[in-house]
Structure 1
């Protein structure tokens, strides 16, 4: 087994995973600590070290709210350790490999975690790469800066470092990906067969990396989980990139709140103080959440880039869970619903109102629909209109989720299944859930290897055929409590919305 590996900065030593045929390397530096003068700068090269560096434990997580102190579902689910080490010095990655030698050239997964660019870390239980590594994939999970330390923009940064004035968390991801390209062959991985993947803000990160043409050639395919959004109703700018002007105004308000006037003063502040003051602003709506159109890393809306073909065009797997990010029409009664329908759908408003789904009302409003489902399908249909369209595979996770809290099919729960890490969860999963997780992990592994999820499971059984989602064949893969089930678009309501989406 590969227990000691050469990297560009020195040798690293890993430990046997729970499955001793796999080696895990935790806490490998891929860039210099982003502290002092390196705060709010593009990642700088890591320093060399002498001897063998033991990479046995996860490095400290990025500066963020202390995990595990709340009573929300995510604190119960996986942000469970309030004492987990945390530091501004956080640019480290982790590798799982079952390679026995450095010349095996196995396919590689590079994973970006989610958490609204405010929270999250590679040490989360669900991101254990062992089960994928057992399927002959080299798994890499990359940490990155969050919140104000990762996504600040300010006019002084624009002036002093115009080529990289913001988007530092995304630049960290890019630096991690490029480190993988340069070093992963020594871990038995193939630098020419990399898949980038992420969920939620990590999925949005994958979209941003695909839209950055500087990344051309750095990966062969992409997985976007709950990371594409679209609404047939109000235009939601929550997920759209901000302009430099919009973002820098937020940065100026943060500097005022911190009591500093210059970038140098801000770089001398304690990182925990910056985070605590930023958290107060964030809780009042001043969140550094979206990427910024800086003219370098980000030149346009990644969703637009996907639809019009100005992204890095590789095969994509993407989808969503059943109960997340529901969009509704805000109307007090049926009369106002009719008025809003005319506003949104014009001459097709009467047709919209003939659907029984249009009259459904929940606690939020009328006509509930899944924003990530519509966003993903809209993007795929845009790709399908281009010359030589790339295959795009859509899934919807709708399995039951057990537990006394009756959580529904909540945002992020599919991570337990794709990574096949259900045994780490406290929920009373049953055999059928483990069977589904094995299928989902098999599909994912097949896609990472070849760009096509189809093939066989670990037991040699052929998986249900998963066809690409196209305009002529609206194929879907449904992950249900009874396993994976191939289907086609069943909802005429969704078809109508897709036809009328702007």
Structure 2
């Protein structure tokens, strides 16, 4: 087994994973610590080391609110350890490989975690890369800066470093990806067969990397999980880039809240002090959440780039869970509903009301519809209208999820299944759930290898055919309690909303 590997900065030693045929390397530096003068700068090259560096444990997580202190679903699900090491020195990545030598050229997955660009880390239980590595994939999970330390924008930064004034967390991801390109062959990976993938803000990160044309050639496929959004009712600004001017104003308010006037003073502050003060400001609505259109890393809206064909053109797998991010028409009664339908759909309002779903009402509003489902499908239809469209595969995760809290298919629950890490979860999953997880991981592995999810499962059985989603063939893959089921779009309501979305 490949327990020692070379990198551009020195040798690293890994450990056998739970399956000794897999080696895990944890805490490999891919950039210099972003501390002191490197705070709020693009990632700088890592320093060399002598001898063999033991890479046995995850590096400290990015500075963020302490995990595991609450009783929300995510603290119960995987943010379970309030004592997990945390620090500003956080630019490390992790590798799982089943290669026996450095010349095997296996397909590579590069994973960006989610968490609204405020929370999250590669050490989360569900991101264990072992099951994918068993399928002959080299798995890399990349850490990046978060919150005020990762996404600050300020006039003094713009003046001091105009080529990289902001978007530091995204630049960390890009640096991690480029490290993989330069080094992954030493771990048995193929630098010319890389897939980048992420979920939630990680999915938004993948969209941003795909819209950055400087990344052309650095990856061959992408997976976007719950990271594309659209609304037929209002402007949906999830991951919509801010202007530099908008973002700089937030940065100025943060400096004021921190009690500093200059960048030099801010770089001398304790990172935990910045974290605590930023958390207070964020809880009052001043959140560094979206990428900034800085003219360098980000030159365009990633969703628009997908729809109009100006993204890096590669095959895509994308989808959502059934119960996440539902959009509504907020109306007090049917009269107001009719007024808003006229506003949203104009001369097609009567057609809107021909669908029974239009008058469905619950405590949140009328006409519920999945924002990520519409976002993905609208993007896919845009790509399908281009010359030589890429294959785009849509999925929806709608399995039952056990537990006394009856959570439904909540945002992020599918991560346990795609990584096939259900055994680490405290929920009382049963055999059918494990069968579904195996199928989902198999489809994902096939896509990572070839850009096509079809083929055989890990046991050699042929998987149900999953066709691309196109204008002519609205194909879907449904991940249900009874396994993976190929389907076509059944809802005329969804088609109507896709047709009328601006």
Report TM bin, short chain: over 0.9
The number of aligned residues is 502
Matched, 1:459 2:459: yes
- Post-superposition Cα deviations, 1:448-468, rounded to whole Å, max 9, x if no partner, equal 000000000111111000000
Alpha-carbon deviation of 1:275? 0.7
Matched, 1:339 2:339: yes
Within 5 A, what are the aligned runs for 1:5-404? 5-404=5-404
Alpha-carbon deviation of 1:147? 0.1
Equivalent-residue separation in structure 2 for 1:221 and 1:237 (angstroms):
25
Matching residue of 2:433: 433
2:19 is paired with a residue of what secondary structure? Answer: coil
Matching residue of 1:422: 422
1:479 is paired with a residue of what secondary structure? Answer: strand
Displacement over 3 Å in runs of 4+: none
Equivalent-residue separation in structure 2 for 1:239 and 1:221 (angstroms):
21
Contact 2:241/2:292, CA 8 A, preserved across alignment: yes
1:171 is paired with a residue of what secondary structure? Answer: helix
2:235 is paired with a residue of what secondary structure? Answer: coil
Matched, 1:490 2:494: no
Alpha-carbon deviation of 1:109? 0.1
- Post-superposition Cα deviations, 1:255-291, rounded to whole Å, max 9, x if no partner, equal 0000000000000000000010000010000000000
Equivalent-residue separation in structure 2 for 1:317 and 1:457 (angstroms):
17
Equivalent-residue separation in structure 2 for 1:69 and 1:267 (angstroms):
28
Equivalent-residue separation in structure 2 for 1:95 and 1:286 (angstroms):
35
Q: Which runs of 5+ in 2 are unaligned?
A: none
- Post-superposition Cα deviations, 1:52-109, rounded to whole Å, max 9, x if no partner, equal 0000000000000000000100000000000000000000000000000000000000
- Post-superposition Cα deviations, 1:472-499, rounded to whole Å, max 9, x if no partner, equal 0000000000000000000000000001
Equivalent-residue separation in structure 2 for 1:127 and 1:471 (angstroms):
34
Alpha-carbon deviation of 1:237? 2.2
Equivalent-residue separation in structure 2 for 1:355 and 1:235 (angstroms):
22
Equivalent-residue separation in structure 1 for 2:296 and 2:364 (angstroms):
39
Contact 2:226/2:320, CA 8 A, preserved across alignment: yes
Alpha-carbon deviation of 1:239? 2.5
Equivalent-residue separation in structure 2 for 1:43 and 1:331 (angstroms):
48
Equivalent-residue separation in structure 2 for 1:362 and 1:218 (angstroms):
46
Equivalent-residue separation in structure 2 for 1:23 and 1:349 (angstroms):
58
Alpha-carbon deviation of 1:363? 1.7
Alpha-carbon deviation of 1:362? 1.6
Contact 2:119/2:146, CA 8 A, preserved across alignment: yes
Contact 2:432/2:483, CA 8 A, preserved across alignment: yes
Contact 2:229/2:238, CA 8 A, preserved across alignment: no
2:498 is paired with a residue of what secondary structure? Answer: helix
- Post-superposition Cα deviations, 1:380-428, rounded to whole Å, max 9, x if no partner, equal 0000000000000000000000001111110000000000000000000
Q: Which runs of 5+ in 1 are unaligned?
A: none
Equivalent-residue separation in structure 1 for 2:326 and 2:253 (angstroms):
32
- Post-superposition Cα deviations, 1:295-319, rounded to whole Å, max 9, x if no partner, equal 0000111000000011001000000
Equivalent-residue separation in structure 2 for 1:129 and 1:238 (angstroms):
28
Matching residue of 1:448: 448
Equivalent-residue separation in structure 2 for 1:435 and 1:238 (angstroms):
33
1:239 is paired with a residue of what secondary structure? Answer: coil
Alpha-carbon deviation of 1:195? 0.1
Equivalent-residue separation in structure 1 for 2:389 and 2:177 (angstroms):
25
Alpha-carbon deviation of 1:238? 3.9
Alpha-carbon deviation of 1:22? 0.4
Equivalent-residue separation in structure 2 for 1:297 and 1:308 (angstroms):
19
Equivalent-residue separation in structure 1 for 2:353 and 2:257 (angstroms):
48
Contact 2:142/2:173, CA 8 A, preserved across alignment: yes
Alpha-carbon deviation of 1:294? 0.1
1:237 is paired with a residue of what secondary structure? Answer: coil
Equivalent-residue separation in structure 2 for 1:237 and 1:442 (angstroms):
33
Equivalent-residue separation in structure 1 for 2:463 and 2:173 (angstroms):
33
Matching residue of 1:475: 475
Contact 2:151/2:167, CA 8 A, preserved across alignment: yes
TM-score, scaled to structure 2 = 1.00
Alpha-carbon deviation of 1:354? 1.4
Alpha-carbon deviation of 1:210? 0.1
Equivalent-residue separation in structure 2 for 1:445 and 1:476 (angstroms):
18
2:150 is paired with a residue of what secondary structure? Answer: helix
TM-score, scaled to structure 1 = 1.00
